Structure 1
Amino acid sequence: MSAVQHDAIRQTVRQRYTHIAENEGCGCAPSCCGCAPSCCGGPDNDSAATSQSVGYAAADTAAVPDGANMGLGCGTPLAIADLKPGETVLDLGSGGGFDCFLAAREVGATGHVIGIDMTPAMITKARGNAEKGGYANVEFRLGEIEHLPVADGCVDVIISNCVINLSPHKAQVFADAFRVLKPGGRLAVSDVVAFADLPDDIRNDPTLLAGCMAGASSIADIEAMLGAGGFEQIRIRPKDESKSFIRDWAPDKPITDYVVSATIEAVKPGACTCCCSDTDTPTLRQASADDLEAIRSLLSRCQLPGEDLTEASLRTFRVLVSGTRIVGVCGIEIFGSDGLLRSLAVDPALRGRRFGEQLVTACESAAQNIGIERLYLLTTTARDYLLRLGYADIARESAPEGVRTHPQFQGLCPASARCLAKWLQ
């Protein structure tokens, strides 16, 4: 499939779900994943009954704000997610926020739920629903599920409900899901899968594609993509009873001869056994002059420059400490309302546990407190990671003069390093 075809698929899907978001559902019977002739017919759609037909309890549909449940699912991913208090959950294709709000109930006030959707209208709707429901532990981010705006190794569980089939890049979806999961993190998905080869008249029908049918991959292909992405303990279980509602998605097509809803489970291997256990989480504090040599040593191990650091410059640095060891560092240097974010490093044994994001966030907060409006940085290895934290590429020469004349810009960092910036709010 060409890039042009991929873009066309994405545009078709975005247009459909924009329409659904702006029209308070789509009126499909029994599920908005499909597209019966009455689809997008307006207020006749009973989203609660639709969701209960795919496995949700009446208490679930009653527990969320009006408009959050849009009847868009093909199963109940939370039934296999085994969520625990304090966990971080990521929902791929979060729609109006229905599964996110149910997940928030499970993980509690100490947990966190992130919803990702590529449709701006859906993000707006979900954020409004979160505000109505008072969900302080839920946030919604605009983004594509193939390129998640989420830091590496910070998610305990990924859920998704009838969305991955819509992607023309499913292998990339699973690869990026693997990236953001913590070691030992779980994938818990409800989606449509193919158990027979789809005929061309179904596979090439844009309406059936946007309706969660024509884009279904075979169980064998999904298993192969998950395995290639690094997942283990892969388990895909078709739900034959789902044919009863899938049949109504396309009543003029023999769709249940080819597709069925299934649960998809997988685990990212390698639960952390490093020097810092979950019961010995590093603590964040301001750096002191006594930390200079330890910081330089950590930067050296991470192949980052640190010889220009002085005891005085550490006043605007933050460190992570495990026992007596410094295992993470990040700092800022001040140039009026501009700042240089520098020396971001985490002990290699502790990467993938969101410590880098914690350090960056701490430095950004410190920068805002002293009146810095913009942060700049150079990086050779962390560009993609920082883009996901809200930084953007800029030309080196567009950085302000004070930043450009810093030793890092003048030779400590190689010419191949990329320049990024972030405007603080």
Structure 2
Amino acid sequence: MDSDAIYHNVQSRYGSIARADNPQYSSTVAKAFGYSQEELNSIPKDANLGLSCGNPLAIASLRPGETVVDLGSGAGFDVFLAAKQVGRHGLAVGIDMNKDMLSRANKNLASSPEIENVIFKEGVITSIPLEDGTADCIISNCVINLVPAAEKSSVFVEMARILKPGGRVAISDILAKKPLPASIKEDVAMYTGCIAGAGTIEEYERYLEDAGFSAVLIVDTKSDLNVYINSTDLLVDGNKSTGCCMKPTETTNVSSDLEREQNSAASCCVPHPKAEDDVCEGAAVGTANTGLRDINLNDWVGSFKIFAVKP
């Protein structure tokens, strides 16, 4: 897929999620990656959409009065949690390119008038709409892997630009453990599900070092990514699905070629075009030649903690 196709599919998929009711699996996924029930109860109820692949706040060490920026902030899940940690003299800023996600995030903010230190901005994370030296800390949760490979390095350059000297990066992301086969890399649902676009540890180390970061640390959390598969109550738009895929809706607007690809029997995450009510069963991802229950996500990718400091 070229960059335009990637952005189009990512926008379509996450816009659909933003417009849907809160998925039943959201708490299950969040708890699997280290969030507590107390944390989930402390934020607007529609902020957690079950899209986490880790908990960047666990390594961010946020302090009162700091400015923290969340890249790919979605409905505001980590932003609202970060806002509590930086306190009323601090600021939590969410950046997202998806208008539907931003709309949901701002509705969540409006529903909680006691939260006065949060703002959301529209923008792509390869060109962050903030001034140089704005942030003390940058967080991100399962988003950078969605950026086209040719543009990923720009994300790290931008992070270095908006960080203050001594600022830090605390990211959770899915990285590849070994080269991904074409059957995975070329699958639309796997890309929008944060699998096919996963980079490697070596690539992320190079991106960070080339952008001028030091004290780079990338660690496999050993989290079980099959939580997306094993949760039995995964519903999106009323259809059985998972955190890594969903049935296309009538609002999806794709080109004829992409539409045929997404609606083919080869894509595990969508119904067969002749069976409107048929949906994925028990798997987050799949390929043309792989049964839905035959893939173990942990064999291919992992949830990694990524930390670095701007000198």
Fold shared by both chains (TM-score > 0.5)? yes
Deviations 1:297-316 (A, max 9, x none): xxxxxxxxxxxxxxxxxxxx
SS at 2:215 equivalent: strand
SS at 1:216 equivalent: coil
What residue in structure 2 maps to residue 128 of structure 1? 107
Which stretch shows the higher mean deviation, 246-255 or 182-191?
A: 246-255
Aligned partners of 2:215 and 2:308 also within 8 Å = yes
- Per the normalisation by structure 1, the TM-score is 0.57
Structure whose residues are more often strand by fraction: 1
Candidates 128, 131, 139, aligned match of 1:159: 139
Query: Share of identical aligned residues, percent?
Result: 44
What residue in structure 1 maps to residue 170 of structure 2? 188
Alignment of 1:262 onto 2:259: no
What residue in structure 2 maps to residue 65 of structure 1? 44
* Larger gyration radius, structure 1 or structure 2: 1
Deviations 1:219-244 (A, max 9, x none): 01110111111111000001223344
Distance 2:85 2:173 in 1: 22
Aligned partners of 2:224 and 2:298 also within 8 Å = no
Distance 2:139 2:75 in 1: 15
What amino acid is the match of 1:77? P
Structure 2: runs of 5 or more not aligned: 230-282, 287-291
Question: How far does residue 96 in structure 1 lie from its aligned partner after superposition?
Answer: 0.6
Return closer, same or farther for 1:111/1:193 CA change in 2, 3 Å cut-off. same
What residue in structure 2 maps to residue 215 of structure 1? 197
Deviations 1:274-293 (A, max 9, x none): xxxxxxxxxxxxxxxxxxxx
Candidates 80, 85, 88, aligned match of 1:106: 85
Alignment of 1:14 onto 2:11: yes
Describe how 1:49-88 pairs up with structure 2 within 5 A.
Answer: 49-88=28-67
Aligned partners of 2:189 and 2:285 also within 8 Å = no
Question: How far does residue 143 in structure 1 lie from its aligned partner after superposition?
Answer: 0.5
Aligned partners of 1:246 and 1:260 also within 8 Å = no
What residue in structure 2 maps to residue 32 of structure 1? none
Distance 1:73 1:177 in 2: 20
Question: How far does residue 255 in structure 1 lie from its aligned partner after superposition?
Answer: 3.0
Q: CA-atom RMSD, angstroms?
A: 1.3
Return closer, same or farther for 1:15/1:192 CA change in 2, 3 Å cut-off. same
Structure 1: runs of 5 or more not aligned: 28-44, 270-425
What residue in structure 2 maps to residue 116 of structure 1? 95
SS at 2:111 equivalent: helix
What residue in structure 2 maps to residue 145 of structure 1? 125
Describe how 1:299-314 pairs up with structure 2 within 5 A.
Answer: none
Candidates 206, 210, 213, aligned match of 1:228: 210
What residue in structure 2 maps to residue 319 of structure 1? none
Question: How far does residue 246 in structure 1 lie from its aligned partner after superposition?
Answer: 5.4
Alignment of 1:202 onto 2:199: no
